[in-house]
Structure 1
Amino acid sequence: MSAHILLVSLPDRGHIYPHVALAKELVHRGHRVGFVTAASMAELVASSGAAFIPYASAYEAVDDKVGTANDNNGAAMLDLGVDECDAMVRAAEEALSGDRPDLVAYDYATYQAGRLLEHKWGVPIVTLSPIFAQNETFSYAQAFAAGGYSDASPPMTMEEYLAHPAMAGWVAKNRQLLADHGLAHVPIADFLTIVRDDTIAYVPAELQPRRDSFDARFTFVGPCLSDRPGLPSWQPPGEDRPVVLVSLGTLFNEHVGFFKTSVDAFADSPFHVVMTLGNGIDPEQLGPLPDHVEVHRWVSHLDVLEHARAFVTLGGMSSVNDALALGCPLVVVPLSSVLERVTAHQVRKAGIGVELEARQPEELTPEMLRTAVETVIGDPAFGRNAARVREHVRRAGGTAAAADTLEARLARR
């Protein structure tokens, strides 16, 4: 039976890509899908067949998103997130007045928007998590508070989190958000609690921290992949060199020093290196390049990873998921935030890659980087482990399993 489903997300490509794949599958199944995000993602959303609902995003205008997220425990970014959710809800209400959806599926980073719509529309909601799922035993808040993550990190309760002095302004802002939408009666702890809704996690269950503590509320479907319009395709060169992909993703790619270090690391190596820069720097800043090092602003990572023997990455979950879906071992350089350090920890623990200890671009040396790549390519255990995870990903079901989960939630209305 056809349903009306609304997806809500921040305009980050690493978040948007799996949501677009899900939207495309839902449309294919005959559902009517709306998609709230910022104008820059219009082409991607249109490619899924979903109805695009733009909201006015201040987040898009932030140049240094990673720096803002790390500054003062992320207070400015947390506050901005509240404003984004307010704008999303207002855009959804305006676009869908008199045409309420049957279900709202929201990106974990926009949970206030999802829960506002739940209260205002009386519809079921589902969390979509492109990063590790969070529950009472694991959360990124706990990792931020500890300045890192290990298996022994103690959990932080919601009461402790809300009482943290650094959170006072953010908690007050959320109370005001509820009041502005006529929901001042909603308990703030219930509104902000990490675990309250059904969750679809786009990560492999094998990598999830404290996996055994996650109950039936969580469905681990693994990476959700689909075509990504606007990205140039890629074909391997004719030469018989192992391919290495190097990228810092879309949010932390302004560090020219990292890319120069990468060029130096592989200048006389036996590898064919593909580097993607995004919009962070001008390729001309890297100077002359060896014939076996190619640089692009954008290219399809999925095309490259089909052939790559190693992926040097910041550790963003979208990049890691792409690699695991295609069985490519990883070299994780978690330069940006605690989020990537958690990912690096899990990658190392699963034996599918190595973590470099550099926390700033200037701490990374060509020797460190080249040695790490030689290690993951030279030791067949990394390839075997990555292939094992790839099989787990295949069995998890990906996009089809995510759509099945939403349809099952609709059936329980």
Structure 2
Amino acid sequence: MGMATVAFFAPAAAGHVNPTLGLAAELVRRGHRVTYATTGTYAERVAETGAEVVPVTSTWEGGGDADIPQFHGRELVRAMDVLLKETKSMLAQLHDTERPDVVVHDGTMGWWGRILARRWQVPSVETWPNLVSNEHWAMSQKYTTFNPLSPAFLLMAVRLSRFLKKQGAEGMQAFMSGDAAVVRLVTLPRAFQYAGETFTDRYEFVGPLINERNYQGGWAPAGKGGLPVLLVSLGTAYNDRPEFYRTVLGSAADRPWQVVLAVGGADLDALGPVPANVEVHRQVPQLAVLRHARAFVTHAGMGSTMEGLHFEVPLVAIPQMAEQRANADRIAELGLGAVLPPEGITADALWTAVERVAGDERIRERLAWMRGEMTAAGGAPAAADAVERALGN
């Protein structure tokens, strides 16, 4: 296969950029030219893959991931509005980009990738970094409520349909579900997806595309033969939980654990004293810490969930919103860890869950099984094969 130009587009959010990095790196390794349109926040990690950064600015930059609304339930109308604005801004910035041979773009929010692929008349491959939906299983069945007849939604649907028509794109339903893509790469193993066996027709479950993130720096546990490592992180978006961090800090001192706590943008002075066996960071090199971790307290975002499972680390899930609740329930259902309700977590409940998952033989077996499923899914090489097949179409 000759060298091709592959253009990547993803929204400016860690949960959408990180899952694509392993694929970008693999395509570069195979001799393709990869361009990746992204913001300053993500430029370094993209450049590390060998891709050429195409600088863009985002309408939601600066607010952090928390400003990116959820794509279901009551948030759906606001999400569509925010995304329509972002799409128009991205199209304006990218309109004179050279035509690539294939487009790889985020399936949940990368609307501009979908529109550009159509405009350029080139095949597109979509990356879906979370649970996907069909008639057998959907987020909306259990986790979110949404009224398709609400005036706000109907008005938004009209606006979006009008915009898509102007772009020459397909109807709203087909557009939003990515029906025009050659293949949808879902970056989790089929075994983790609810009703996974029912997703046929252009869904390929390639598992997580983990890429060494050297830009984050390394990490090593304190001392030789020291305490078991506990990573505590609520991710990049819904992590403003000072009372939870205070619970961790206030109760860690007399526990036989080395705790690595990521607190995002929390006010460090308001968190109280830090015990000797705890290190507090705004962000941690998550992969480097997970390599050593005995347990992982996580918000159960899909990126973090997959990274924890990749290293066979038992999970204690504290979901912060609907999508994470679905992930957390699946973690419990598959025997990969425990789930705690996010409201009013006590030190007792937290440490009991941590000790339980860390010492549970059955969980260890289930983690080894899931790791096997991930390996079988094929990861970055399987994803790159799919992109190369799309080039041949």
The answer to whether the superposition gives a TM-score over 0.5 is yes
Aligned to 1:42: 43
Cα distance in 2 for partners of 1:193, 1:142 equals 17
Counterparts of 1:105-124 in structure 2, within 5 Å, are 105-124=104-123
Match of 2:335 among 351, 355, 363: 351
Quote how far apart the aligned CAs of 1:63 are.
5.0
Unaligned runs of 5+ in 2: none
Quote how far apart the aligned CAs of 1:409 are.
1.7
Cα distance in 1 for partners of 2:247, 2:73 equals 26
Aligned to 1:255: 241
Quote how far apart the aligned CAs of 1:382 are.
1.1
Structure 1 residues 409, 194: closer, same or farther in 2, change over 3 A? Answer: closer
Which deviates more from structure 2 when the two are superposed, residues 225-234 or residues 62-71? 62-71
Cα distance in 1 for partners of 2:228, 2:388 equals 43
Aligned to 1:379: 360
What is the percent sequence identity of the aligned residues? 34
Cα distance in 2 for partners of 1:168, 1:237 equals 56
Question: Is the counterpart of residue 391 in structure 1 residue 372 in structure 2?
Answer: yes
Counterparts of 1:309-324 in structure 2, within 5 Å, are 309-324=294-309
Give the letter aligned to residue 226 of structure 2. D
Partner SS, residue 200 of structure 2: coil
Give the letter aligned to residue 79 of structure 2. M
Quote how far apart the aligned CAs of 1:119 are.
2.5
Whether the 8 Å contact between 1:311 and 1:331 is mirrored in structure 2 is: yes
Structure 1 residues 3, 191: closer, same or farther in 2, change over 3 A? Answer: same
Partner SS, residue 21 of structure 1: helix
Aligned to 1:244: 230
Whether the 8 Å contact between 2:190 and 2:197 is mirrored in structure 1 is: no
Quote how far apart the aligned CAs of 1:402 are.
0.9
Q: Deviations over 1:139-168 (max 9, x none)?
A: 334445348xxxxxxxxxxxxx75554522
Question: Is the counterpart of residue 8 in structure 1 residue 9 in structure 2?
Answer: yes
Whether the 8 Å contact between 1:223 and 1:321 is mirrored in structure 2 is: yes
Give the letter aligned to residue 313 of structure 1. T
Cα distance in 2 for partners of 1:265, 1:205 equals 38
Quote how far apart the aligned CAs of 1:72 are.
3.6
Counterparts of 1:139-288 in structure 2, within 5 Å, are 139-146=138-145, 163=149, 165-181=151-167, 183=168, 186-193=170-177, 195-197=179-181, 198-238=183-223, 239-278=225-264, 280-288=265-273
Give the letter aligned to residue 352 of structure 1. L
Partner SS, residue 256 of structure 2: coil
Aligned to 1:33: 34
Partner SS, residue 226 of structure 2: coil
Q: Deviations over 1:178-209 (max 9, x none)?
A: 2443x27x433332346553211111221111
Unaligned runs of 5+ in 1: 148-160
Structure 1 residues 94, 21: closer, same or farther in 2, change over 3 A? Answer: same
Aligned to 1:331: 316
Cα distance in 2 for partners of 1:106, 1:143 equals 28
Which deviates more from structure 2 when the two are superposed, residues 18-27 or residues 113-122? 113-122
Cα distance in 1 for partners of 2:122, 2:159 equals 24
Question: Is the counterpart of residue 306 in structure 1 residue 291 in structure 2?
Answer: yes
Give the letter aligned to residue 52 of structure 1. V
Counterparts of 1:72-151 in structure 2, within 5 Å, are 72-96=74-98, 100-146=99-145
Quote how far apart the aligned CAs of 1:235 are.
0.4
Quote how far apart the aligned CAs of 1:67 are.
8.3
Partner SS, residue 94 of structure 1: coil
Cα distance in 1 for partners of 2:142, 2:386 equals 29
Whether the 8 Å contact between 2:143 and 2:325 is mirrored in structure 1 is: no
Cα distance in 1 for partners of 2:122, 2:215 equals 34
Structure 1 residues 196, 351: closer, same or farther in 2, change over 3 A? Answer: farther
Give the letter aligned to residue 369 of structure 2. R
Across the aligned residues of Structure 1 and Structure 2, the Cα RMSD in angstroms comes to 2.2
Whether the 8 Å contact between 1:200 and 1:220 is mirrored in structure 2 is: yes
Give the letter aligned to residue 62 of structure 2. A
Q: How many residue pairs end up in the alignment?
A: 389
Whether the 8 Å contact between 1:10 and 1:109 is mirrored in structure 2 is: no
Q: Deviations over 1:367-395 (max 9, x none)?
A: 11111111101221111211221122122
Aligned to 1:152: none
Whether the 8 Å contact between 1:55 and 1:87 is mirrored in structure 2 is: no
Cα distance in 2 for partners of 1:175, 1:4 equals 31
